[in-house]
Structures are given as structure tokens and as C-alpha cells.
Amino acid sequence: MSGVRPPRHRPGTLLGVPLPVVLAALVISGLLGVQLAGALQESTAGSGRSEAASVDSVDGAGKNSAGLPVVTETTLGTEVQRLVDSGSIQPLTTFDAPGCLQRLGVHDSILIMEEVAWGGDETPSWLLVHGPTDRETLQAAGGIISATVVLPGCGETTFGADAPATEDLIWSGDVMIGSL
């Protein structure tokens, strides 16, 4: 028995990589995956809730204390898309939307309008969605539609009709929306 050594125990290998290294890599990958899944869940959970709340509830995220949607330049497209999809129309009450657009030099017909709060200071405003097409065609085919945000004074039927409407203009431009 001299000179013969007993066989030494070697850890197994997987494709030439020692098994302890493979196991460590799997454990680290699993922990990293769990951490990334948690971060993804946290980052998307808030946006899903606020979108659902702004459409479904009066006092949800995206609405002010009076229940009006708070709209900014970055959320305007989403709000116009929601209005076209829902097809909701508010009564004109004392706001003369066609007269306001006419005073602004716009000759499109009003498709949808909504009372909103504009920007971080939540300025009371009206969002007017207008264009040369009708709402049903827009819902079916999508396309580019005009949106104008104005102060309530632009469409007052009893007061301030002689003042230039451009003083009441907050934002005006085109919005691309998709079909239903």
C-alpha cells in the first residue's frame, strides 16, 4: 500500500463547470429575478390603478376635488382618446362652444367637449374636441383630431362675448387617436 493513494472525492461538474459554481449562479439568478419582478409589479401597479380610477370614479387619481379630470399637455391625448372611446357628451349649459371656436377662427364642428381642470394649478377650463369628421367615423377608423383647451370665458353666452377669444385660449393642437 505504499505509493497508492485513495481516490480523492471530486465535486461533480455540469458541462465542465463545477457544480457549486452552477448552483451559486442559479441561486443568484433566482434572487435577481424575484427582485426584478417585484420592482416591475411596484412600478406598474400605481399606473394601472390611477388609470382605472380616473375613468371610473369621481374622486380617483387624475381628478380634482370637484371631480373634474386634471389634464396637462402630457395627458391630453389620453383624455381625448378616453372621451372618443366613451362617447360622453356634456350639456352645453351656459358655455357656447361653437361660438368660442368661431371667435377663435376655427370652423370645425364640436365632436365632444368636457369640463376639465388644466395643469398643475388646475385652472377651470373646457376641452373641446373638434374636426371635420363625425365621432362614429373617428371611433371606427381613428386618426388625427383637433383639441382646444379654453377658459370658460371663451364660451360664455351672457358675458364677455366682445372680448377676443385668444385671451381665453390655453392650448390648441392636433391629437392622434386610435380606433376602437
CA distance 15 to 154: 75
First CA to last CA distance, the chain: 86
Residue located via cell numbers 373641446: 128
pTM confidence score? 0.60
Domain ranges, ordered by start, for the chain = 16-56, 70-177
123's grid cell? 385652472
Alpha helices in the chain (DSSP H): 19-56, 76-86, 97-103, 135-141
CA–CA distance, 109 with 99 (Å, rounded to integer): 11
3-class SS of residue 56: helix
CA distance 56 to 84: 16
User: What single-letter amino acid sits at 174?
Assistant: D
pLDDT tens across the length of the chain (180 residues):
566 776 666 667 778 888 888 899 999 999 988 888 887 777 765 544 333 333 333 433 488 888 888 998 888 888 888 888 886 666 656 788 888 888 888 988 888 888 899 988 899 999 999 988 887 888 888 888 999 999 988 877 555 556 566 788 999 999 888 876
Angle at 143 between CA 177 and CA 120, to 5 degrees: 35
Total number of residues shown for the chain: 180
